[in-house]
Amino acid sequence: MIWLRGWLLTSSILVFSLGAHAGVAGTLFGTYISDDFSQTAATSDSKQLYGGLLLASVTAKDTFHIGWAYTSINATSTKSSVTDTFASTDMGPAFAYWFGKNRILNISGAYNVVSNSTFQQGSTATKEWTGTSYWVAVGADLEWMKNLHLGGRIIYYSTSITDQKIGSAATSVSVGRTWVMPMLTITYRP
C-alpha cells in the first residue's frame, strides 16, 4: 500500500505543478550489455535495464523536475550450463535536474519504494524477493528535434532485498545487488 500513497502524492504534485508551470517532461531509458567468454568452462552474461520517468517542473525555468519512475532489470549469467536469472520491477518517486548551457547536462535519480524481484539459481526453486532500490544517473542530452532530446547516462543502481518467499515459506533476508552501466535516453522536455 505504500506504493499507492507514493503514487497519489506524486500524481497530486504533478497535477498542481501543471497549473503553476507548463514544464512536463518524460524520459525513456535503456541499456543492454552482453558478454560471452569461451574457455574450458564457457560463461555468458547479459544485463538489460529499461524504464521511464514522468516528471513535472517545480521551477520557473524548467530545470528541476519531480515525478514517478518505473525501472525494470533483467540479468542472466550462465557458467558451465548452469544459468542464474534475476529480474526486478521497481517504482518510486524520482527527480531530474538539467543544468549548464542550454540545459544539456543532467542528473536524475529515483528511490523505488516498490522493488519486486525474482531470482533462480540453476534448477533450484525461484525466490521471490521484495525490498527497495534506488538509482542515480548523470549524463548529457542533445536536442534532436524541438523538445525531443537524445542522451547518454551512466547509471548506478542498487537494490536492498529484505523479504524472501520460496513457495509458501516467507523469511527475512539481507541481500543486495549493485550495477553501474551506461544507458541511452530519449527525453521530451520544453
The three three-digit cell numbers of residue 123, written as one number: 534448477
Asked if pLDDT for residue 6 goes beyond 60, the answer is no
Asked if pLDDT for residue 39 goes beyond 90, the answer is no
Asked if residue 64 lies in contact with residue 97, where contact means CB atoms within 8 angstroms, the answer is: yes
Contacts of 145 (CB under 8 A, 6+ apart): none
C-alpha distances out from residue 149 to 92, 137, 144, Å: 23, 16, 5
- pLDDT of 70: 97
74-104: pLDDT as tens digits = 999 988 788 899 999 999 999 999 998 888 9
Closest to 79 (Cα-Cα) out of 138, 39, 139? 39
The band of 18, judged by pLDDT with boundaries at 50, 70 and 90, is very low
- pLDDT of 17: 47
Question: Residue 42: helix, strand or coil by DSSP?
Answer: coil
CB-CB neighbours of 95 under 10 Å:
18
61-76: pLDDT as tens digits = 889 999 999 999 999 9
Q: Phi then psi for 11, rounded to 5 degrees?
A: -60, -40
The three three-digit cell numbers of residue 1, written as one number: 500500500
The three three-digit cell numbers of residue 93, written as one number: 518517486
134-187: pLDDT as tens digits = 999 999 999 999 989 999 999 999 999 889 898 888 888 888 889 999 999 999
Asked if pLDDT for residue 15 goes beyond 80, the answer is no
- pLDDT of 175: 87
Find the angle CA(179)-CA(95)-CA(153) to the nearest 5 degrees. 45
- pLDDT of 167: 86
Which domains occur in the chain, in start order? 2-188 (2.40.160.20)
CB-CB neighbours of 74 under 10 Å:
16
- pLDDT of 68: 96
Asked if pLDDT for residue 21 goes beyond 60, the answer is no
